[in-house]
Amino acid sequence: MTRTLRASSRLHFSENRRGVVAVYAAIMLVFVLGLAALTVDLGYLFMSYGQLQTCADSGSLAGAQMLASDAIVKSTPDYTPRQGAARSTAVQFASSNKVGIDLPTVDSNSSNSSNGDVVIGYLADPENPSAALDTSNPALYNAVQVRVRKTTAMNGLVTSFFARVWGNSGNPVAAKATALLSSSIVGFKVTSESGNSDLLPFAVKKTDWDALLAGVGSDHYGRNGAGDVVGGSDGILELNMYPLSNGTGGVVPGNFGTVDIGNPNNSTADLDRQILYGANSDDLAYFGGALVLGDDGTLLMNGDTGVSAGIKEELESIKGKPRVIMLYSTVTQQGNNATYTIVGFVGIRIMYVKLTGAMTQKKIMVQPAAVIDASALIGDTPNASTYVFSNVRLVR
């Protein structure tokens, strides 16, 4: 009898223990399922954020690139077209990458409100992450900020899968990026990533360039829809680099010349190559790997105050294409012993070339142009370059 009671007691205890384990297992299963649900929902949330960030990054970079527009080089600058181009391009690229299974919608924010999806403005200190975009002066605009969001009002919440059990149907997520187009160019360095520089081996007197920007010049050439140079006014004044000083009507020796980008013993073949294909890393190796203005904003370079008619064909072949030339303040000595004091870089297009005939008939006509050069170096010197920009970069 006693043995029977003991066996029954053990059986009853075992059944109780199995019941407790089942309860614990049920509790743990709920916990594990909840953890799995949280992991899946959080994973999808973070994936969506990464996709939104990709959209914001690509939109801001593409939009900022459009700020380098020839609309800013007109004798009467018009900043509206470049803002419109930057805004529409930012929206286009930001909306071209899927978030989840859908392409996001981005509001263009045509009023340029500071809390809009696309904001165009000026960043005086790109390294300051808390500095707000200044939208007060369109002439200074150098940055595009893009926000892409999934909210109740725009594109819908990021869907919750398992969290719906707890009443959470979705979460709002937004990503933001700001890209900068810098014009604080102090020199050039050619790398395998940048490719050759757009820098031409030419220097023009700074006072002549300043006069052009002040409105002294002609307007006889423009470009058609294909980018070819044609006759006619386009609202962008031209400078005759050689040999006449712009607007004076007299021959002014030394207002233009070639400079040696590289060894002073460069051949005519080197000059032709640099006109056609730009300066390469071997050319800049002569300057220690980079051609850069000094802390005082100047750089001494050897050159020649004359120009050979032999480069006519090379100049003709790059007509209408954006290039960079140098500005100089003074030149000492003459001929191929000249030394130029370089004080900056400017963006130009060659519009007309004539290097035969009498001296007064020779012309190399250029007009200002916005140039983005991947080899351009950003810095801070007393002298500023004009219409030359580095590649756009994300600063936020």
Would you say residue 64 lies in a domain? Answer: yes
pLDDT higher than threshold 70 for residue 247: no
Report pLDDT for 298. 94
Are residues 205 and 167 part of one domain?
A: no
Closest CA to 338 of 305, 293, 298: 305
- pLDDT of 29: 57
Predicted pLDDT of residue 127: 83
Same domain, 102 and 164: yes
Question: What is the per-residue pLDDT for 36?
Answer: 61
Tens of pLDDT, residues 269-305:
888 999 999 999 999 999 999 999 999 999 999 988 7
Predicted local confidence at residue 186, as pLDDT = 93
Count of beta carbons in the 10 Å neighbourhood of residue 104: 23
Q: pLDDT at position 27, please?
A: 65
Q: What's the total number of domains in the chain? A: 2
* Residue where a domain stops, chosen among 139, 162, 180: 180
The arithmetic mean of pLDDT across residues 10-35, rounded, is 56
Q: Are residues 210 and 345 in the same domain?
A: yes
Q: 1 in a domain, yes or no?
A: no
Residue 309 lies in a domain: yes
Average pLDDT over residues 214-243: 88
**pLDDT given for residue 158 in this prediction:** 82
The pLDDT score that the predictor gives to residue 361 is 76
For residues 86 and 166, membership in a common domain is answered with yes
Q: What is the pLDDT of residue 244?
A: 43
Asked whether the predicted pLDDT for residue 312 surpasses 80, the reply is yes
Residues 170, 309 within the same domain: no
Is pLDDT of 7 > 60?
no
Do 53 and 202 belong to one domain? no
Q: What's the average model confidence in pLDDT over 123-142?
A: 88
For residues 243 and 307, give the distance between their C-alpha atoms in angstroms, rounded to a whole number.
10
Q: Where a domain ends, among 123, 155, 180?
A: 180
15, part of any domain: no
Choice among 40-44, 250-254, 376-380 with the minimum mean pLDDT: 250-254
Q: Are residues 58 and 132 in the same domain?
A: yes
Instruction: Indicate whether 8 belongs to any domain.
Output: no
377 and 249 co-located in one domain:
yes
| Position 309 confidence tier, pLDDT thresholds 50, 70, 90 | confident
pLDDT digits (tens, 9 = 90+) for 320-361: 999 999 999 988 877 777 889 999 999 999 999 988 877 677
Q: Is 348 helix (H, G, I), strand (E, B) or coil?
A: strand
Residue 189 has pLDDT above 80, yes or no: yes
Q: Is 246 or 11 the better-scoring residue by pLDDT?
A: 11
* The predicted structure's pLDDT at residue 37: 62
Same domain flag for 50 and 171: yes
Q: Alpha helices of 260-369 — where are they, by DSSP H?
A: 268-277, 281-285, 312-317
DSSP string computed for 137-199: -GGG--EEEEEEEEBTTTB-PEEPSSGGGGT--EE-EEEEEEEE----EEEE---TTT-S--E
| Helices and strands in the chain: count of H runs, count of E runs | 6, 20
Pairing of strands 221-223, 229-231: antiparallel
Q: What is the pTM of this model?
A: 0.80
Least confident of 53-62, 242-251, 321-330: 242-251
> For residue 25, which amino acid is it?
A
Asked if residue 55 and residue 151 are part of one domain, the reply reads: yes
Give the pLDDT confidence of 263-275 residue by residue, as tens digits.
887 778 888 999 9
Domain boundary residue, one of 180, 207, 228: 180
Is 297 part of any domain?
A: yes
Q: Is residue 14 part of a domain?
A: no
Report helix, strand or coil for 237: coil
**Banded pLDDT at 5 (limits 50, 70, 90):** very low
Q: What is the pLDDT of residues 67-78, one digit of tens each?
A: 998 888 888 888
Q: How high is the pLDDT of residue 191?
A: 93
More confident site: 183 or 44: 183
258 shares its domain with 126? no
Domain, as residue range, for 149: 21-180
Confidence category of residue 314, pLDDT binned at 50, 70, 90: very high
- Give Cα separations from 2 to 7, 8, 11, 14, 244 (angstroms): 9, 10, 14, 18, 127
Percent of the chain with pLDDT over 70: 84
Q: What is the pLDDT of residue 209?
A: 92
Kindly state the tokens that stand for 69.
């527009």
161 & 244 share domain: no
161 pLDDT exceeds 70? no
Mean pLDDT of the chain, nearest integer: 84
More confident residue, 41 or 378: 378
